[in-house]
A = this chain, B = another copy of it.
Protein backbone atom coordinates (compact mmCIF):
# COMPACT_ATOMS: atom_id res chain seq x y z
CA UNK A 1 0.00 0.00 0.00
CA UNK A 2 1.52 3.28 -1.10
CA UNK A 3 -0.31 5.09 1.62
CA UNK A 4 0.11 8.42 -0.11
CA UNK A 5 -1.53 10.33 2.73
CA UNK A 6 -4.40 12.22 1.27
CA UNK A 7 -4.39 15.93 2.04
CA UNK A 8 -7.05 17.02 4.49
CA UNK A 9 -8.83 20.30 5.01
CA UNK A 10 -6.19 21.03 7.59
CA UNK A 11 -3.39 20.74 5.05
CA UNK A 12 -5.16 22.97 2.59
CA UNK A 13 -5.86 25.49 5.32
CA UNK A 14 -2.22 25.66 6.35
CA UNK A 15 -1.09 26.01 2.78
CA UNK A 16 -3.53 28.78 2.07
CA UNK A 17 -2.85 30.43 5.41
CA UNK A 18 -6.47 30.32 6.53
CA UNK A 19 -8.61 28.28 8.88
CA UNK A 20 -10.27 24.95 8.15
CA UNK A 21 -13.65 26.60 8.33
CA UNK A 22 -12.78 28.94 5.52
CA UNK A 23 -11.52 26.18 3.33
CA UNK A 24 -14.72 24.28 4.00
CA UNK A 25 -16.72 27.31 2.95
CA UNK A 26 -14.84 27.67 -0.28
CA UNK A 27 -15.07 24.00 -1.06
CA UNK A 28 -18.79 24.08 -0.48
CA UNK A 29 -19.29 27.19 -2.53
CA UNK A 30 -20.24 29.60 0.21
CA UNK A 31 -20.47 33.13 -1.11
CA UNK A 32 -19.39 34.79 2.06
CA UNK A 33 -15.71 34.49 1.36
CA UNK A 34 -13.50 37.28 0.10
CA UNK A 35 -12.49 36.93 -3.51
CA UNK A 36 -8.77 36.92 -2.80
CA UNK A 37 -8.98 34.32 -0.07
CA UNK A 38 -11.18 32.15 -2.20
CA UNK A 39 -8.62 32.16 -4.96
CA UNK A 40 -5.82 31.34 -2.57
CA UNK A 41 -7.79 28.41 -1.19
CA UNK A 42 -8.67 27.19 -4.65
CA UNK A 43 -5.04 27.25 -5.58
CA UNK A 44 -4.06 25.31 -2.50
CA UNK A 45 -6.76 22.75 -3.20
CA UNK A 46 -5.48 22.42 -6.71
CA UNK A 47 -1.85 22.10 -5.75
CA UNK A 48 -2.46 19.55 -3.06
CA UNK A 49 -5.01 17.63 -5.08
CA UNK A 50 -7.42 17.86 -2.22
CA UNK A 51 -10.60 15.82 -2.41
CA UNK A 52 -13.09 15.99 0.46
CA UNK A 53 -13.48 12.88 2.57
CA UNK A 54 -17.09 11.94 2.05
CA UNK A 55 -17.28 9.77 5.12
CA UNK A 56 -16.30 12.66 7.33
CA UNK A 57 -18.69 14.93 5.56
CA UNK A 58 -21.64 12.64 5.76
CA UNK A 59 -20.91 11.93 9.39
CA UNK A 60 -21.76 15.51 10.18
CA UNK A 61 -24.25 16.36 7.45
CA UNK A 62 -26.22 13.17 7.96
CA UNK A 63 -26.46 12.84 4.21
CA UNK A 64 -24.63 10.29 2.14
CA UNK A 65 -25.20 11.70 -1.31
CA UNK A 66 -25.90 8.25 -2.57
CA UNK A 67 -29.08 6.51 -3.62
CA UNK A 68 -29.78 2.80 -3.72
CA UNK A 69 -31.44 1.10 -6.63
CA UNK A 70 -32.87 -2.21 -5.53
CA UNK A 71 -33.64 -4.84 -8.12
CA UNK A 72 -34.90 -8.35 -7.71
CA UNK A 73 -32.24 -10.67 -8.97
CA UNK A 74 -33.33 -14.26 -8.79
CA UNK A 75 -35.26 -13.88 -12.00
CA UNK A 76 -32.80 -14.53 -14.75
CA UNK A 77 -34.66 -11.92 -16.65
CA UNK A 78 -33.15 -9.08 -14.72
CA UNK A 79 -30.15 -9.34 -16.89
CA UNK A 80 -31.35 -11.36 -19.77
CA UNK A 81 -31.60 -9.42 -22.99
CA UNK A 82 -34.72 -7.85 -21.71
CA UNK A 83 -33.71 -4.23 -21.61
CA UNK A 84 -36.01 -3.19 -18.85
CA UNK A 85 -33.60 -3.26 -15.97
CA UNK A 86 -30.58 -2.01 -17.83
CA UNK A 87 -32.75 0.78 -19.16
CA UNK A 88 -33.85 1.75 -15.70
CA UNK A 89 -30.28 1.69 -14.46
CA UNK A 90 -29.33 3.99 -17.22
CA UNK A 91 -32.09 6.49 -16.58
CA UNK A 92 -31.44 6.48 -12.86
CA UNK A 93 -27.77 6.91 -13.45
CA UNK A 94 -28.24 9.89 -15.74
CA UNK A 95 -30.45 11.71 -13.34
CA UNK A 96 -28.27 10.93 -10.35
CA UNK A 97 -25.23 12.17 -12.16
CA UNK A 98 -26.94 15.47 -12.75
CA UNK A 99 -27.63 15.66 -9.03
CA UNK A 100 -24.09 14.63 -8.18
CA UNK A 101 -25.11 11.60 -6.24
CA UNK A 102 -23.82 8.07 -6.35
CA UNK A 103 -25.74 5.02 -7.46
CA UNK A 104 -25.50 2.04 -5.17
CA UNK A 105 -26.86 -0.98 -6.97
CA UNK A 106 -28.35 -3.76 -4.91
CA UNK A 107 -29.58 -7.02 -6.33
CA UNK A 108 -32.00 -8.57 -3.92
CA UNK A 109 -32.63 -12.04 -5.13
CA UNK A 110 -32.02 -14.53 -2.39
CA UNK A 111 -33.56 -14.12 1.05
CA UNK A 112 -30.05 -13.33 2.23
CA UNK A 113 -29.73 -10.63 -0.39
CA UNK A 114 -33.05 -9.22 0.64
CA UNK A 115 -31.90 -9.03 4.24
CA UNK A 116 -28.73 -7.33 3.21
CA UNK A 117 -30.74 -4.74 1.35
CA UNK A 118 -32.96 -4.28 4.34
CA UNK A 119 -30.10 -3.77 6.73
CA UNK A 120 -28.31 -1.43 4.44
CA UNK A 121 -31.22 0.76 3.51
CA UNK A 122 -32.82 0.92 6.93
CA UNK A 123 -29.39 1.78 8.26
CA UNK A 124 -29.65 5.13 6.50
CA UNK A 125 -26.61 4.50 4.43
CA UNK A 126 -28.33 6.08 1.47
CA UNK A 127 -30.42 9.18 1.04
CA UNK A 128 -33.18 7.33 -0.71
CA UNK A 129 -34.18 4.03 -2.21
CA UNK A 130 -35.51 3.21 -5.64
CA UNK A 131 -37.31 -0.09 -6.12
CA UNK A 132 -37.39 -1.62 -9.54
CA UNK A 133 -40.28 -3.89 -10.24
CA UNK A 134 -41.04 -5.85 -7.15
CA UNK A 135 -42.50 -9.29 -6.96
CA UNK A 136 -45.49 -9.85 -4.77
CA UNK A 137 -46.05 -7.68 -1.76
CA UNK A 138 -42.65 -6.74 -0.49
CA UNK A 139 -42.99 -4.97 2.86
CA UNK A 140 -39.60 -3.27 2.61
CA UNK A 141 -40.65 -0.14 0.70
CA UNK A 142 -43.36 0.52 3.25
CA UNK A 143 -40.98 -0.04 6.12
CA UNK A 144 -38.50 2.41 4.72
CA UNK A 145 -41.13 5.01 4.07
CA UNK A 146 -42.29 4.69 7.66
CA UNK A 147 -38.72 5.25 8.81
CA UNK A 148 -38.79 8.48 6.87
CA UNK A 149 -36.47 7.29 4.17
CA UNK A 150 -37.47 8.56 0.71
CA UNK A 151 -38.74 5.74 -1.47
CA UNK A 152 -40.02 5.50 -5.01
CA UNK A 153 -41.17 2.33 -6.73
CA UNK A 154 -41.38 1.44 -10.35
CA UNK A 155 -44.91 0.20 -10.76
CA UNK A 156 -47.74 0.52 -8.29
CA UNK A 157 -46.75 -1.36 -5.15
CA UNK A 158 -48.94 -4.39 -4.61
CA UNK A 159 -50.59 -4.73 -1.26
CA UNK A 160 -52.13 -1.29 -1.26
CA UNK A 161 -49.30 0.64 0.32
CA UNK A 162 -49.62 4.33 -0.41
CA UNK A 163 -46.14 4.81 -1.77
CA UNK A 164 -45.08 7.13 -4.54
CA UNK A 165 -44.45 5.29 -7.78
CA UNK A 166 -43.76 5.82 -11.40
CA UNK A 167 -45.10 3.54 -14.07
CA UNK A 168 -46.01 3.33 -17.71
CA UNK A 169 -49.55 3.19 -18.99
CA UNK A 170 -49.82 -0.59 -19.31
CA UNK A 171 -53.56 -0.77 -19.75
CA UNK A 172 -53.67 2.00 -22.33
CA UNK A 173 -50.85 0.47 -24.33
CA UNK A 174 -52.29 -3.01 -24.33
CA UNK A 175 -55.72 -1.70 -25.17
CA UNK A 176 -54.29 0.14 -28.14
CA UNK A 177 -52.55 -3.03 -29.29
CA UNK A 178 -55.59 -5.24 -28.99
CA UNK A 179 -57.75 -2.70 -30.78
CA UNK A 180 -55.20 -2.68 -33.56
CA UNK A 181 -55.68 -6.43 -33.87
CA UNK A 182 -59.44 -6.07 -33.88
CA UNK A 183 -59.32 -3.36 -36.51
CA UNK A 184 -57.20 -5.72 -38.56
CA UNK A 185 -60.10 -8.15 -38.56
CA UNK A 186 -58.85 -10.54 -35.89
CA UNK A 187 -61.53 -12.19 -33.80
CA UNK A 188 -59.83 -15.00 -31.87
CA UNK A 189 -57.26 -12.96 -30.02
CA UNK A 190 -55.23 -14.77 -27.39
CA UNK A 191 -52.81 -13.39 -24.85
CA UNK A 192 -49.67 -14.70 -23.25
CA UNK A 193 -49.95 -12.97 -19.92
CA UNK A 194 -47.09 -12.11 -17.60
CA UNK A 195 -46.58 -13.26 -14.01
CA UNK A 196 -49.48 -12.28 -11.80
CA UNK A 197 -47.31 -11.34 -8.86
CA UNK A 198 -45.96 -8.33 -10.70
CA UNK A 199 -47.91 -5.19 -11.52
CA UNK A 200 -46.73 -5.22 -15.09
CA UNK A 201 -48.07 -8.74 -15.52
CA UNK A 202 -51.34 -7.93 -13.83
CA UNK A 203 -52.08 -4.67 -15.60
CA UNK A 204 -51.27 -5.91 -19.04
CA UNK A 205 -53.70 -8.74 -18.55
CA UNK A 206 -56.33 -6.27 -17.37
CA UNK A 207 -55.80 -4.25 -20.51
CA UNK A 208 -56.32 -7.32 -22.64
CA UNK A 209 -59.38 -8.48 -20.77
CA UNK A 210 -61.12 -5.14 -20.83
CA UNK A 211 -60.52 -4.65 -24.50
CA UNK A 212 -61.64 -8.05 -25.75
CA UNK A 213 -64.65 -7.88 -23.44
CA UNK A 214 -65.62 -4.48 -24.84
CA UNK A 215 -65.50 -5.97 -28.32
CA UNK A 216 -67.53 -8.99 -27.31
CA UNK A 217 -64.64 -11.32 -28.09
CA UNK A 218 -63.60 -14.40 -26.10
CA UNK A 219 -60.70 -14.47 -23.66
CA UNK A 220 -57.95 -16.90 -24.59
CA UNK A 221 -55.30 -16.77 -21.91
CA UNK A 222 -52.05 -18.58 -21.12
CA UNK A 223 -49.43 -17.47 -18.63
CA UNK A 224 -45.72 -16.93 -18.83
CA UNK A 225 -43.16 -15.14 -16.70
CA UNK A 226 -41.90 -12.66 -19.31
CA UNK A 227 -39.06 -14.94 -20.42
CA UNK A 228 -38.67 -16.43 -23.87
CA UNK A 229 -38.82 -19.95 -22.58
CA UNK A 230 -42.10 -19.40 -20.83
CA UNK A 231 -43.44 -17.63 -23.90
CA UNK A 232 -42.75 -20.62 -26.10
CA UNK A 233 -44.51 -22.95 -23.69
CA UNK A 234 -47.51 -20.66 -23.39
CA UNK A 235 -47.79 -20.38 -27.15
CA UNK A 236 -47.79 -24.15 -27.52
CA UNK A 237 -50.48 -24.38 -24.90
CA UNK A 238 -52.61 -21.78 -26.66
CA UNK A 239 -52.25 -23.56 -29.98
CA UNK A 240 -53.28 -26.83 -28.41
CA UNK A 241 -56.32 -25.33 -26.72
CA UNK A 242 -57.34 -22.91 -29.44
CA UNK A 243 -55.93 -24.05 -32.77
CA UNK A 244 -58.09 -21.50 -34.54
CA UNK A 245 -56.65 -18.40 -32.85
CA UNK A 246 -55.78 -15.66 -35.28
CA UNK A 247 -53.83 -13.25 -33.09
CA UNK A 248 -51.70 -13.16 -29.98
CA UNK A 249 -50.81 -10.33 -27.67
CA UNK A 250 -47.75 -11.26 -25.59
CA UNK A 251 -47.07 -9.27 -22.45
CA UNK A 252 -43.35 -9.03 -23.25
CA UNK A 253 -41.27 -8.93 -26.39
CA UNK A 254 -39.27 -11.90 -25.25
CA UNK A 255 -42.41 -14.00 -24.99
CA UNK A 256 -43.58 -12.62 -28.31
CA UNK A 257 -40.28 -13.58 -29.85
CA UNK A 258 -40.62 -17.15 -28.69
CA UNK A 259 -44.23 -17.17 -29.84
CA UNK A 260 -43.09 -16.15 -33.29
CA UNK A 261 -40.80 -19.11 -33.46
CA UNK A 262 -43.37 -21.51 -32.07
CA UNK A 263 -45.92 -20.34 -34.59
CA UNK A 264 -43.44 -20.82 -37.40
CA UNK A 265 -42.67 -24.31 -36.17
CA UNK A 266 -46.38 -25.11 -36.09
CA UNK A 267 -46.66 -24.09 -39.72
CA UNK A 268 -48.50 -20.81 -39.13
CA UNK A 269 -47.49 -17.74 -41.09
CA UNK A 270 -47.15 -14.42 -39.27
CA UNK A 271 -49.05 -12.22 -39.78
CA UNK A 272 -51.10 -13.96 -42.49
CA UNK A 273 -52.45 -16.70 -40.23
CA UNK A 274 -51.71 -15.27 -36.83
CA UNK A 275 -50.89 -11.68 -35.94
CA UNK A 276 -48.50 -11.11 -33.05
CA UNK A 277 -47.93 -8.06 -30.87
CA UNK A 278 -45.47 -7.78 -28.03
CA UNK A 279 -44.77 -5.31 -25.26
CA UNK A 280 -41.56 -3.41 -24.43
CA UNK A 281 -40.03 -2.64 -27.81
CA UNK A 282 -36.65 -4.09 -27.01
CA UNK A 283 -34.00 -3.62 -29.66
CA UNK A 284 -34.43 -7.18 -30.84
CA UNK A 285 -38.02 -6.48 -31.78
CA UNK A 286 -36.96 -4.76 -34.96
CA UNK A 287 -34.89 -7.78 -35.92
CA UNK A 288 -37.26 -10.67 -35.35
CA UNK A 289 -38.69 -12.61 -38.26
CA UNK A 290 -40.96 -10.91 -39.13
CA UNK A 291 -40.15 -7.64 -37.32
CA UNK A 292 -42.35 -7.37 -34.28
CA UNK A 293 -45.21 -4.96 -33.80
CA UNK A 294 -45.09 -3.97 -30.16
CA UNK A 295 -46.01 -1.51 -27.44
CA UNK A 296 -43.09 0.72 -26.63
CA UNK A 297 -42.56 1.82 -23.08
CA UNK A 298 -40.16 4.68 -22.33
CA UNK A 299 -37.97 2.72 -20.02
CA UNK A 300 -34.98 5.02 -19.63
CA UNK A 301 -37.39 7.85 -19.00
CA UNK A 302 -39.04 5.71 -16.35
CA UNK A 303 -35.72 5.48 -14.54
CA UNK A 304 -35.20 9.19 -14.83
CA UNK A 305 -38.68 10.00 -13.61
CA UNK A 306 -38.29 7.72 -10.59
CA UNK A 307 -35.09 9.42 -9.68
CA UNK A 308 -36.46 12.91 -10.07
CA UNK A 309 -39.37 12.04 -7.83
CA UNK A 310 -37.03 10.58 -5.25
CA UNK A 311 -34.82 13.63 -5.21
CA UNK A 312 -37.82 15.85 -4.80
CA UNK A 313 -39.03 13.81 -1.87
CA UNK A 314 -35.57 13.90 -0.35
CA UNK A 315 -35.64 17.66 -0.74
CA UNK A 316 -38.82 17.77 1.29
CA UNK A 317 -41.17 18.49 -1.58
CA UNK A 318 -44.50 16.80 -1.99
CA UNK A 319 -44.94 14.67 -5.05
CA UNK A 320 -47.96 13.11 -6.67
CA UNK A 321 -48.33 9.49 -5.59
CA UNK A 322 -48.57 8.16 -9.12
CA UNK A 323 -46.65 9.35 -12.12
CA UNK A 324 -47.65 7.59 -15.31
CA UNK A 325 -45.70 7.67 -18.56
CA UNK A 326 -47.37 7.08 -21.92
CA UNK A 327 -46.84 4.00 -24.06
CA UNK A 328 -46.94 3.85 -27.83
CA UNK A 329 -47.84 1.22 -30.39
CA UNK A 330 -45.01 0.57 -32.83
CA UNK A 331 -46.40 -1.08 -35.91
CA UNK A 332 -43.99 -3.33 -37.78
CA UNK A 333 -44.80 -6.47 -39.76
CA UNK A 334 -46.08 -9.02 -37.30
CA UNK A 335 -49.49 -7.39 -36.93
Question: Binary interface profile of A, 44-78, with partner B (CB < 8 Å = 1, else 0)?
Answer: 00000101111110110000101000000100001
Partner-contacting stretch, out of A87-95, A153-161, A242-250 = A87-95
Given A59-B53, A316-B1, is A83 in contact with B81 using a C-beta cutoff of 8 Å?
A: yes
A80 contacts across to B, CB distance below 8 A: 83, 283
Q: Is A228 an interface residue (CB 8 A)?
A: yes
* A 78-112 binary contact with B (CB < 8 Å = 1; else 0): 11111101110110011001001011111100001
Q: Does A296 contact B (CB under 8 A)?
A: no
Within 8 A of B (CB), among A1-22: 1-4, 6
Which residues A141-188 have CB closer than 8 A to chain B? 146-148
A148 close to B79 (CB less than 8 A)? no
Q: Are B107 and A97 in contact (CB under 8 A)?
A: yes
Cβ B97 vs Cβ A113 within 8 A: yes
Q: Contact at B282–A1, with CB atoms within 8 Å?
A: no
Proximity bits, A287-300, B CB within 8 Å = 1, else 0: 11100000000000
Residue of B nearest to A316 (CB): B1
Give every chain B residue within 8 A of A104 (Cβ-Cβ): 66, 102-105
Roughly how many angstroms separate A55 CA and B4 CA in the complex, as a whole number?
21
Number of A positions contacting B (CB below 8 A): 61
Q: How far is the CA of A103 from the CA of B117 in the complex (A)?
A: 12
User: Which of B54, B55, B79 is A87 in contact with, Cβ under 8 Å?
Assistant: B79
A332 sits at the interface (CB 8 A): no
Contacts of A238 in B (CB 8 A): none
Is the CB–CB distance between B86 and A257 below 8 Å? no
Q: How far is the CA of A147 from the CA of B3 in the complex (A)?
A: 8
Residues of B within 8 A of A51 (CB): 119, 122-124
Looking at A6, A146, A257, A287, which has the most chain B CB atoms within 10 Å of its CB? A287
In contact, A83 and B89 (Cβ under 8 angstroms): no
Chain A to chain B: the 7 pairs with minimum beta-carbon distance, closest first = A51-B123, A2-B148, A79-B86, A81-B81, A289-B289, A55-B58, A55-B59
A interface vs B, CB < 8 Å? 1-4, 6, 49, 51-56, 58-59, 64, 66, 73, 78-83, 85-87, 89-90, 93-94, 97, 100, 102-107, 112-113, 116, 119-120, 122-125, 146-148, 228, 257-258, 261, 282-284, 287-289, 316
Listed A/B pairs (19) with beta-carbon separation below 8 Å: A1-B316, A2-B146, A2-B148, A4-B147, A6-B123, A51-B124, A54-B55, A54-B123, A55-B55, A55-B59, A80-B83, A80-B283, A81-B81, A81-B82, A86-B86, A90-B107, A97-B112, A97-B116, A102-B120
